Structure 1
Amino acid sequence: MNVRRRHISAGVIAATTALTLGSLSACSSDSGAADGEGGGKLDVVASFYPLQFLAEEIGGSHVSVSTLTEPGQEPHDLEISAKQTAQLQESDVALYLKGLQPSVDEAIGQSEVRAKVDAATLTSLEKHGNEVGGHAAEHDDEHGHEDEEGSGLDPHIWLDPVRYAEVAEGVGKAFEKADPDNAATYKKNTAALVEKLDGLDTRFEDGLKNAKTKVFITTHAAFGYLAERYGLTEEAINGLDPESEPSANRVKDLEKMAKADGVSTVFYETLVSDKTAKTIAADADLKTDVLDPIEGITKKSRGDDYIQVMDANLKALQTALGAK
């Protein structure tokens, strides 16, 4: 197992301690949700795909997982329906990422769900602007981009396998508390998932270390954590909001930067229009390709799950950056 840079963050301990034994025991006994006398399953609601993936991998056959964000739906734009609000109220565990989906934050905050697990408390978040990676993070304040909460913290932690593994560990501990009868299974499944993520981390590090250029252009500033992890620099056309429009000056700067840094490709994503990316690529005589932020799995996805799509992202980056 590759554990050279991973550690269990203080947030994992704080978050799981906050899930009191009384409320979590009620999840198991009162609702009959956990496997046991009731013969049911732990009812888990995930706010969007990356958390759904963790719940399914860790919970296995002992959990029933549903997601608030349908495949193909842009998670940033999600508005909770009355049906989904009721679904939350009936669930045993709610997994969400505060700051990514304001309507989800509000709904979970007002709900009486027994265990609320905020992925943002299970690892560390940073401020990111349009330019991220290397020493670029030092210039965040120049860009002034903020998330929906106004904190400026970048929520795209799942695109860094190391941070994502920390979140997985926190989710696993929450499941163990919520359903102690199956704690051993959750612990085993969490360890297996973390090992997969460690392997993914190793593939990215080895696959990108000999790249000819370290700079890549994306439409959406979703890959800041990935860039920092592997010594790259992400230049985003838009900020953290995938629907925002770049200024004319930003477009000109990107075209100049592409020539100076030997950039060959403008990346776009599957859930947002590729119009801006293709326009800039055409003007600068660049190629286009997909770099998937994995906010949902659809028929257009280059893989059936998080691991497969991340491996596809690695191949796309290797081609664009001239990595051996």
Structure 2
Amino acid sequence: MLSRSLRRAATGGAAAVLLVALAACSGSGSSDGRLSVVTGFYPLQFVTERIGGAHVKVTNLAAPGAEPHDIELKPSQVGAISNAALVIRFKGVQPQLDDAVGQNAAGHDLDVSTVTPPATGPNHRGATEDAGAPDPHVWLDPTRLAAIAGDVSGRLAKLDPDHAADYANNTDALLQELTKLDGEFAAGLKQCRRHEIVTSHAAFGYLADRYGLTQLALSGLSPDTEPTPQQLATVAAEARQAGATTIFFETLVSPKVAETLATEVGAKTAVLDPLEGLTEGGTGDYLSVMRTNLEALRTALGCS
């Protein structure tokens, strides 16, 4: 049974030329009659597709296998932003998208950072270069993704009231799945020998907070930042003290730093997916990848 609160929660010259040409024809639908929605990266795509169903055409700006933070928008993507009925983004994650929305999509965007505001470096030990910076990885807590789903549903229904009942039904189904996932994580991580997760970068603070874990991160919020030798030594010492058997790395960045730490500590490496994007050619969706994450965590932490 879903709670009432969860239901309620629930660019360069060429681009500029293209935008001038498109400004007069900014629309709300795709050529096949579906509502046209642009999303910044995968978790927003997942939510929108699950809620919109057959009534929505979703264009995701971050390609599979590509790191979404530093996307460089193509003219065609800027045109899609200009023509979309709705652009769904997380302000601050993709600066070029923020700029494009400000110039060409003001008034028809949804900034999900206003739905579940980012905390300042939640549950973040180890690296210090991003201390005090807001952490955008809210989708790794299923209850926060549920809140985002609620606002996406409301905006789609407002734009397309003829299909509002379908959007509401799809939202209820998604919220039930997210509630089930949250319960699986809570039960699966309740009784573990260890509670520290050692990660290559500090993407998992919300997940750690939700399920009573502590995150030890080699680098800060940016996956591209290389840890200093001092940071490596500090995290290695804490990982040994915690009895860590696993150092986690991510799907879209090099595992070399995690492998170096694992060698130093005498641990193995494993993948913990921050779900910023799916791997190229990969299968599954948010729910299945999160369940894979849960099994990786249970193994690493010695959970019963």
Normalised to the residue count of structure 1, the TM-score between the two structures is: 0.84
Query: 2:83 is aligned with what amino acid?
Result: E
Task: Compute the RMSD of aligned alpha carbons.
Answer: 2.3
Contact (CA 8 Å) 1:32, 1:39: kept in 2 or not? no
Contact (CA 8 Å) 1:93, 1:113: kept in 2 or not? no
Q: Deviations over 1:33-72 (max 9, x none)?
A: 28xxx97110011111111111100000000111111001
SS in 1 for 2:170: helix
CA distance in 1, matches of 2:197, 2:109: 36
Q: Deviations over 1:123-148 (max 9, x none)?
A: 1320006x53xxx6xxx9x93516xx
Deviation beyond 4 Å, 4+ runs, structure 1:
4-9
Aligned to 1:33: 29
- Determine which of 226, 248, 265 is the counterpart of 1:245: 226
CA distance in 1, matches of 2:172, 2:43: 17
The yes-or-no answer on 1:101 pairing with 2:89 is: no
The yes-or-no answer on 1:116 pairing with 2:109 is: yes
For structure 1, list consecutive stretches of 5 or more residues without a partner in the other structure. 13-29
The yes-or-no answer on 1:92 pairing with 2:77 is: no
Aligned to 1:309: 289
Q: Deviations over 1:11-37 (max 9, x none)?
A: x8xxxxxxxxxxxxxxxxx94628xxx
**Structure 1 residues 152 and 287: CA distance shift in structure 2, 3 A:** same
Aligned to 1:27: none
- Determine which of 178, 197, 202 is the counterpart of 1:216: 197
Instruction: Write the mapping of 1:112-191 to structure 2, written as runs, cut at 5 A.
Output: 112=105, 115-128=108-121, 132=124, 143=128, 145=130, 152-191=133-172
- Determine which of 58, 71, 77 is the counterpart of 2:70: 77
**Structure 1 residues 237 and 50: CA distance shift in structure 2, 3 A:** same
Contact (CA 8 Å) 2:252, 2:279: kept in 1 or not? no
Q: Deviations over 1:148-178 (max 9, x none)?
A: xxx8211001110010000000100010101
CA distance in 2, matches of 1:72, 1:195: 29
Contact (CA 8 Å) 1:124, 1:163: kept in 2 or not? no
The yes-or-no answer on 1:43 pairing with 2:36 is: yes
Instruction: Write the mapping of 1:187-202 to structure 2, written as runs, cut at 5 A.
Output: 187-202=168-183
Query: 2:240 is aligned with what amino acid?
Result: K
The yes-or-no answer on 1:323 pairing with 2:289 is: no
SS in 2 for 1:84: helix
Aligned to 2:20: none
CA distance in 2, matches of 1:288, 1:72: 20
Contact (CA 8 Å) 1:123, 1:166: kept in 2 or not? yes
SS in 2 for 1:245: coil
SS in 1 for 2:201: coil
Query: 2:51 is aligned with what amino acid?
Result: I
Aligned residue pairs, count: 289
CA distance in 1, matches of 2:245, 2:149: 35
Contact (CA 8 Å) 2:142, 2:178: kept in 1 or not? yes
Structure 1 residue 5: Cα displacement: 8.2
CA distance in 2, matches of 1:280, 1:77: 26
**Structure 1 residues 182 and 209: CA distance shift in structure 2, 3 A:** same
CA distance in 2, matches of 1:252, 1:5: 44
For structure 2, list consecutive stretches of 5 or more residues without a partner in the other structure. 11-25
**Structure 1 residues 121 and 32: CA distance shift in structure 2, 3 A:** closer
Normalised to the residue count of structure 2, the TM-score between the two structures is: 0.89
The yes-or-no answer on 1:288 pairing with 2:284 is: no
Residues 169-178 or 74-83, more deviating:
74-83
